[in-house]
Amino acid sequence: MHHHGVDRREVLRRLGSAALGMAGLSALPSPLITPAFASGHVPWVDTLRARPRPTRAQLAWQRDEIALFVHFGVNTFTDREWGDGSESPSLFNPTQLDARQWARAARSAGAKAMILTAKHHDGFCLWPTLTTSHSVVSSPWRGGRGDVVREFVDACRAEGLKAGLYCSPWDRNHPAYGDSARYNDVYIAQLTELLTQYGELNEVWFDGANGEGPNGKRQVYDWPRTWALVRKLQPNAVIFSDAGPDVRWIGNERGVAGETCWSTIRSSAVPYIGASGDDVIAALQQGHADGDVWRPGETDVSIRPGWFHHEAEDAKVRAVDNLVELYFTSVGRNSKLLLNVPPTRTGRFHETDVARLAGMRTALDGLLSKRVVSDRGVGRVEGGVYRRAISVPGGAQVVLLDLAEPIEQGQHVRAWRVRADTADGPVLAAGTTIGYRQLRRIAATSVKRMVLETEYLEAPVPVTLRAYRV
């Protein structure tokens, strides 16, 4: 899954002639200390030990920063969060389904992708599957000839968004559920339809729910088979679940990634989908510095108390400030924000939700437009700490710090501090991991100069520090 970066021989080839001459190479300690390091000026070099790095799909996924989650189905019409599978398909009848409206709202929030619940735990399929009649085919909507998944992917493409799908393995309607071999074939057939008939998907989202089916039996899922199918049919999609393999759950649905958040994790910590326990949750929240796989965290959270739309929650839509805070505690902690917005029975997003999405973007753009510093480099090393002085031209009241590592090379920073003025100046902010992005709001402080201090696992990488004024 993960890349192992350049191998040792390649690093030596790149560095060898320039820095050391071939003779000295065999005596090098690991991590590599070059004469350049020792002198205090540290060029950025590839680490010698293989650390996990993102695949192209994982990188693209992370750089999208925000995706919208769209929970829609029979629950929208029964006012429930989990259907029991006995719902009549005739309930599903949105009056003005408009997936383009979802996509426009997503764009206005700055989201780059959307993920639709093609099937939730109740088993109702939003596309005309051949695996069951419990689908849009049996509903009055568009005379039984509708296909929500089709309208969804078409709308994504029309608005320049990537499309992802959620297909619940837990199925409280399908008669084969619990009859493990038979249902696994059904589930594979459903996924095959979704992965072959709707163009390119960027993410396939698996939750671990594993309750009882209509006959009271539990199902034993076949994840290796399922993941292999996704790899084969959608090689560019990332696979989400609490056990990966590409993207991990962040461990809660409150919208909060760990303050320490490694994109690497020990694969043994979450051995299978649905593994539970405090250790599992801690691992999902924070990852592990010495993790063997690159598996960044996705923060899924709803704009409302529930995942599905309930009229009773129309006055409980998260406020703009709350959404901005979610961005800071997810994207701003090296995670990705998967923000759920549920269509109403009309098949459109509620106007309140639409307004809040646009409001969040306006607020974030406002904060991020007042940049006074953008500086990249490594710094000089003293006692294992790299220090870099950064001037703030003309001085400014700084309220926001924004740090980034070049994560295509993996994640390396294990501690950072930003000081005002000089190397012994007051600490404005400090933390552990940086990764893709670390955003930190601070009390407005007037500064002419800052000092960035960083500590690394193995080798220094050029951290970008941006700062924004009041």
* Residue placing its CB nearer to ligand FUL in the complex, 209 or 229: 209
Q: Which of residues 56-115 bind ligand FUL (CB under 6 A)?
A: 81
* Residue placing its CB nearer to ligand FUL in the complex, 37 or 69: 69
Phi first, then psi, for residue 320 (nearest 5°) are -55, -45
* Gap between the Cα atoms of 232 and 78, Å rounded: 37
In the complex, residue closest to ligand FUL by CB: 207
* Gap between the Cα atoms of 168 and 220, Å rounded: 14
Question: Binding string to ligand FUL for residues 267 to 306, with x set by CB under 6 A, is what?
Answer: ---------------------------------x------
Measured CA to CA in angstroms, residue 440 lies from 161, 286, 321, 330, 334 at distances of 28, 17, 15, 12, 12
Say how many residues touch ligand FUL, by CB under 6 A.
Answer: 5
Q: Does 328 bind ligand FUL (CB under 6 A)?
A: no
* Residue placing its CB nearer to ligand FUL in the complex, 81 or 179: 81
Q: Which of residues 136-165 bind ligand FUL (CB under 6 A)?
A: none
Cβ 75 to ligand FUL shortest distance, Å? 8
- For ligand FUL, the binding residue among 122, 207, 246, 402 (CB under 6 A) is 207
Cβ 119 to ligand FUL shortest distance, Å? 11
* Residue placing its CB nearer to ligand FUL in the complex, 209 or 358: 209
Cβ 399 to ligand FUL shortest distance, Å? 33
* Residue placing its CB nearer to ligand FUL in the complex, 267 or 340: 340
Cβ 114 to ligand FUL shortest distance, Å? 14
- For ligand FUL, the binding residue among 209, 233, 385, 389 (CB under 6 A) is 209
Cβ 134 to ligand FUL shortest distance, Å? 18
Cβ 209 to ligand FUL shortest distance, Å? 5
Q: Which of these, 148, 452, 279, lies nearest to 287 by C-alpha position?
A: 279
* Gap between the Cα atoms of 121 and 167, Å rounded: 9
* Residue placing its CB nearer to ligand FUL in the complex, 171 or 300: 300
Q: Does 37 bind ligand FUL (CB under 6 A)?
A: no
Is the distance from CB of 93 to CB of 142 less than 8 angstroms?
Answer: no
Cβ 348 to ligand FUL shortest distance, Å? 20
* Residue placing its CB nearer to ligand FUL in the complex, 13 or 218: 218
* Residue placing its CB nearer to ligand FUL in the complex, 210 or 236: 210
* Residue placing its CB nearer to ligand FUL in the complex, 151 or 207: 207
* Residue placing its CB nearer to ligand FUL in the complex, 118 or 367: 118
Cβ 272 to ligand FUL shortest distance, Å? 15
Cβ 244 to ligand FUL shortest distance, Å? 16
Cβ 138 to ligand FUL shortest distance, Å? 22
Cβ 235 to ligand FUL shortest distance, Å? 25
* Residue placing its CB nearer to ligand FUL in the complex, 71 or 440: 71
Is the distance from CB of 178 to CB of 171 less than 8 angstroms?
Answer: no
Measured CA to CA in angstroms, residue 449 lies from 382, 386, 388, 402 at distances of 20, 16, 10, 16
Could you tell me which residues come within 8 angstroms of residue 202 by beta carbon, excluding any fewer than 6 positions away? 57, 60, 61, 113, 162, 163, 164, 236, 237, 238
Q: Which of these, 435, 436, 461, lies nearest to 47 by C-alpha position?
A: 461
Cβ 300 to ligand FUL shortest distance, Å? 5
Q: Does 307 bind ligand FUL (CB under 6 A)?
A: yes
Residue 446 pairs in a beta bridge with 397
Which token pair is 334? 């090296």
Which token pair is 425? 């100046």
* Residue placing its CB nearer to ligand FUL in the complex, 81 or 458: 81
Residues lying near ligand FUL in the complex (CB under 6 A) are found at 81, 207, 209, 300, 307
